[in-house]
Amino acid sequence: MLEAVIFDMDGVITDTVPLHYNAWKKMFEKHGYYFDFNVYKEKVDGKPRMKGISSVATNVDEKTLNQMAEEKQNYFLEYIEKTPPEIFQDTWNFIKELKKYKIKIAVASSSKNTKKILESLKIYDVFDTVVTGYDFIHGKPNPEIFLIAANRLNVSPENCIVIEDAIEGINAGINAKMFTIGIARHGNNKELSHANLVVKSLNEIKLDNLISIFQEAKK
């Protein structure tokens, strides 16, 4: 029985991907590392900040990693001030549909900016719980972040759907024994192909159909 839907934030609820990508690119190139969108999707997107940095900057000490993390965060906050992110309309439509069906909803994001961004969008209180980068120890693909969300919602993990746009997030959802939906907004269908369902937009999903697919997958 479907009881809850857990959303990643960056790239799923809000279009913060360009802001994150530009902040990462500016920081890495300042330190002499090659960085493009493929590197971002493969090594950085969906991961805790320190893990993302160390996957590219493999030859630096912890002090430098911390410095790089602070620089990236400062660049990102600058970009947010200049160009505040907007909510994806397809996601907002889907959230409203879930509310009608009385299905619980949560945000589970590795970002430590999660609360700030959701509040700027005036949707923080829409969710039944919000799990941020401050709330867990083990980053995706470890399932901890999604298991915390399920626990706070008081629902069983197998009765949850996770919606993600990054491979590590899909893997975390699978590891949590949850039904996974991959949103391939950037044409990354192939890397998300192991999700239970892959779409380009949540507008492709009709909730009645999704509940049927979910129930069938649980048999």
**Which is the catalytic residue, given 8, 45, 90, 165?**
8
Cβ atoms < 10 Å from Cβ of 27: 24
**Structure-token match 């069938």, residue found:** 216
165 catalytic? Reply is no
10 catalytic? Reply is yes
Q: Rg of the chain's alpha carbons, rounded to an integer? A: 17
CA atoms within 13 A of residue 66's CA, in its CB half-sphere: 3
CA 171 – CA 112 distance, rounded (Å): 21
**Structure-token match 């083990």, residue found:** 138
**Which is the catalytic residue, given 10, 45, 90, 165?**
10
Cβ atoms < 10 Å from Cβ of 177: 14
The H or E element spanning position 95 is: helix 89-100
CA 203 – CA 109 distance, rounded (Å): 22
- 130: β partners: 107
Burial 84-102 (b: 16+ CB within 10 A, else e): ebebbebbbebbebbeeee
In terms of Cα–Cα distance, which of 67, 62, 77, 64 is closest to 16?
Answer: 77
> Which residues are designated catalytic?
8, 10
